[in-house]
A and B are shown apart, each in its own frame.
Chain A
């Protein structure tokens, strides 16, 4: 084993593919031992016609699935000595990750699907035809055995789970806990929606991702995870943000929707869309060691029955701001998956309750929810007015008040670049104080300024505003 550097070309002969950066080759050779027996040689036999047809299909499937530039498989037949190559698979893709994935996928599938038999000739003089591996069908046969044994599920319940389709929106902490449970349980179709990419700060709690996934799309990586866990599940990756433009189409495509997002706007949009289309929504949110979960059924009270006025995302913080630990989203994600399973097998769901749990004190509170007469959410309308105390841009506030002052309330040690013309007076200095002129308050995300403005207005001060999204929102809009 040696690592070397050379300034001369490395000689490996291959077809030129200028768009391909990653080439992976698998070379399966005859080993001198198998299951503790000493092996002298191997003999391979094929049902040629079928093997060729199935093999060709396999290669084309791999090319489409992994977006390959090229893929080639050669399998050897007849008598082979120890050290000879039995099968060689070469794969070319733009990036290495797909090349590795495709090459391993092809050899796994080939062993299952392509009718080639192997005879082992042992040093003892004996020989034996060997089955390479259980077929995927056989593996799936036992897969749900333990589930079917539950009296609440049985073969009928398993059939319902297998026939179901679930839209999972948000593949962060909650989604990463929902996904293994539902893919494992054998939900027939999973549609995974998230426009984000994996960040290093996600990994501690979003344990379906690996470090090598950092920078890659969550939807695609989560789909890969689910397929590897349970190849019999049909998985689709949608690398989009759920919004008013695509909500109807996505929600319509599935029976049950799981909300794993950290956006209040998305939660209320999902709520209205599910109500309109008659779908069941399982929603959850976490904060510190606490969280809440409940299910909105087509006939039950909805999220907007609870909060008639849609809160803006700036009014409370998300995990990125407050922090969280792996067990919290895992706990609430599992509770969401349980709601899906219970819903599918006809078990009880939290349809007119809200469940609160605190993982520090291990205390649970269930609060009864009810239909609010005239609820617009129940009618399928998404209520999303910006409240009067919030503005989307500095200009919007200036239009209302010519004498507007802009005050940046971040601490002095935070990033120095407030908007042009703003004065920095940190949050703490506003306790009990009232601005003399109309004022737009600005902070990093809009959370602190919103809090300050709401507090002032509750004391009768008008003409104070908060910039929605804060400085970060301004940067993102530019």
Chain B
């Protein structure tokens, strides 16, 4: 787990990203928003995300959260259970 992070996509974001999850090399702590900006360059479709919540290690966070090596980051579209 160290020196990399895992990114998970759900529902239509999985289709947009073309993958369910990806592990990326990751050495140095950085704010989530910086990571998202990088991802949007690789996967432009993510830019169109609306109402997406972000979670790090299964807890909701905002863009300012600091990401550490080993973290699991999730892109969560609006829920539709029940």
The answer to whether A binds B is: no
